[in-house]
Structure 1
């Protein structure tokens, strides 16, 4: 098996997607290992989980920095200290500077609770219900400077039920997120595709991109 690639996970809260990635990486055949979990919030519950799993953690409180750029430089230095090769944002509630995004270009991914390009930003479930859509879901994409943009690696679709509230829809989407994120990260770190500008090109004819998991 080829060398496992080192991944840093960025969180701001409980880190449920972080947990899904950590669990996936316990498989010795998974192509990534989690090198560090970093939170910008000292009270993030996900840090406790990561520590319990024996994973290195760092807290870089964004409130301790005078500017967004200063915070991003500290974050970048922490990732470098842990020899991180790829970054996975898992509920990381910070808008990054262009220079930080550029330094990790094509090596940083994010998961968003909608079928992008629909419903960028916050309150995605409430907006989907208001619009009366019949399908909702989540997207794993390569990070770009514009929020919730970038080449799409994978999407999972879930049905929107007439009885749904924002909370019940969110639960179903979150379950899909936990399935799709480890799969997308594995594709990235294993070199299953090339990123040419804003387009993904699979390196094998067996891989169809973006990966689409249908509603269930």
Structure 2
């Protein structure tokens, strides 16, 4: 593979970070190669095939994870959407600093044009790891990134719970012809901490806490939302 020492070092540094003793280092080169770099250097490959594979593997592993938590089909679909989306994958990619190990063409502005590329890199890397190391290693990385965000109730910045709960409650209102509107109460304890409770009409659906009013409201919306998509959730 026609790469210089600097390019290979980028791959070796990434493998060391991920604690991977690669069987086929070329897979990781392919996983980090954007189309713009291939156009300039005529390598004959890009990360797109591995990205396709990684997308499927990520979805499978997250689906299996939710399956063994005993969720029903509808709940698994909704939660998987919350875990596996472009913003979350980009966040995981940034946590691993994948853009620093990628091969990009000179015409790509790494500061303004790489949001989608960062998402794609995470998927392509998972595809490469699956082929080289097996599914268990992919699960290990997902467990420490996107699954961890979910388990820590830390999807607030990547999933718009306020919009989702509004859609669910409005749908419920339409189907039952019940009347009401969403509103949030807010309390400030004077120490920079906020408490917010989500009501639909006179019914309380969730109470959240946060360092800002927005975070407290989003947490309240998350709790309310999960009452619709998780089984046996008690506030």
Same fold flag (TM > 0.5)? no
TM-score (norm 1): 0.26
Give the greater-gyration-radius structure (CA).
2
- Higher relative helix content: 2
- Higher relative strand content: 1
TM-score (norm 2): 0.25
